[in-house]
Amino acid sequence: MLVTGAAGFIGFHLAARLLGAGAVVHGLDNLNTYYDVGLKRARLAQIGPHERFAFSHLDITDYDGLRALLADFRPDCVVHLAAQAGVRHSLDHPRAYVSANLDGFLGVLEACRAHPVRHLIYASSSSVYGANSKVPFQEDDPVVAPLSLYGATKRANELMAQTYAHLYGIACSGVRFFTVYGPWGRPDMACYAFTKAILEGRTIDVFNHGRMQRDFTYIDDVTEALVRLVELPPRAGADGAASAAPHIIYNIGNHTPIELERFIAAIEAALGCKADKRYLPMQPGDVPATWADVERLSRATGFAPMTTIEDGVAKFVAWYRTYHGTP
């Protein structure tokens, strides 16, 4: 199994889960400085000593290096999670998204074309739904109005995968993640940022005056879904597959939109202290609500995410206190 972005939040958890299930895992990551590299290295330190884990410090835009890795390791499945993440960051650093999310994904597709794999699973995002006002979001909804460059690159990934599935028969599954959170999470995400600010006595910014809803999805639910999907490469013409190509898209969300105020209240309860909130207008590129329809995922895998926001946030806060040594 090859996992790209193995030092990232989801990639690390997936690698650990696969290793625990007896798989041989090769991870790669470029360890970029989008956020604290120390956190990425700390994640790798948790799985690095495992005898069935190997790691390559490699950028997915290094076409030759990536193809050489697949030629040497010969994975039967690739889970491609490496990407430039973040909706707001894409407003100021658009070239990073073109490089990592478009050029990098092309490198992954070309490597899988040169050295065929049984299944390519790749990360998309709920951001592809953009201005879609129909809820819950379903995989077959038109996704033609992304509100951020990040969302646009992820939709482009889906179209690229569809093309390679059609032309070269690469079995591809795209997974649209909905606001993933949990232990070892990214510092730029709300759960981490709010927890840190509250503990430091700083004000937190609450956008759209608190009238936001997110389909928060706990990390263990995400990895469970991914592990089950590994064994389910799509067949051409199968239920949910796009046209005659072996390509399918799944929502991975908790199918329960949570109000931002309830999310903050869960953090306050876990911390035992109140947040100082500053209410602000909606930010450019943001959407007021996300809500995943996970019927397709449930039919295929027999599983649907179900962790409550209170339980998930409590587990995150417990990890945060331990990792940062915060009483």
| Residues of the domain holding 160 | 2-181+216-254+291-305
CATH number of the domain that 90 lies in? 3.40.50.720
Report if residue 109 sits inside a domain.
Answer: yes
Report if residue 280 sits inside a domain.
Answer: no
| Catalytic (active site) residue 150 | yes
What secondary structure does DSSP assign to 84-153, as a single string? ---TTHHHH-HHHHIIIIIIHHHHHHHHHHHS--SEEEEEEEGGGGTT--SSSB-TTS-----SSHHHHH
Report if residue 58 sits inside a domain.
Answer: yes
Query: What pLDDT score does 187 carry?
Result: 97
Which of 214, 247, 28, 233 lies closest to 125 in space, CA to CA?
Answer: 214
Q: For 233, how many CA atoms within 13 A lie in the half-sphere containing its CB?
A: 16
Q: Which of 35, 122, 129, 150 is catalytic?
A: 150
Q: For 56, how many CA atoms within 13 A lie in the half-sphere containing its CB?
A: 20
Report if residue 269 sits inside a domain.
Answer: no
pLDDT averages per 10-residue partition of the chain, 327 residues: 98 98 98 97 97 98 98 97 91 94 98 98 96 91 93 97 97 98 97 97 92 94 98 83 84 96 97 95 83 97 97 98 92
Report if residue 48 sits inside a domain.
Answer: yes
Query: What pLDDT score does 243 carry?
Result: 66
Hey, what are 231's tokens?
């064994």
Query: What pLDDT score does 327 carry?
Result: 78
Report if residue 283 sits inside a domain.
Answer: no
Residue 241 DSSP code: -
Report if residue 323 sits inside a domain.
Answer: no
Q: For 248, how many CA atoms within 13 A lie in the half-sphere containing its CB?
A: 21
Query: What pLDDT score does 273 carry?
Result: 95
Query: What pLDDT score does 238 carry?
Result: 64
Report if residue 210 sits inside a domain.
Answer: no
Number of domains in the chain: 1
Q: What is the pTM assigned to this prediction?
A: 0.96
Calculate ∠ Cα 164-97-251, nearest 5°.
60
Long-range contacts of 92-99 (CB under 8 A, 24+ apart): 94/149, 96/34, 97/149, 97/150, 97/153, 98/153, 99/61
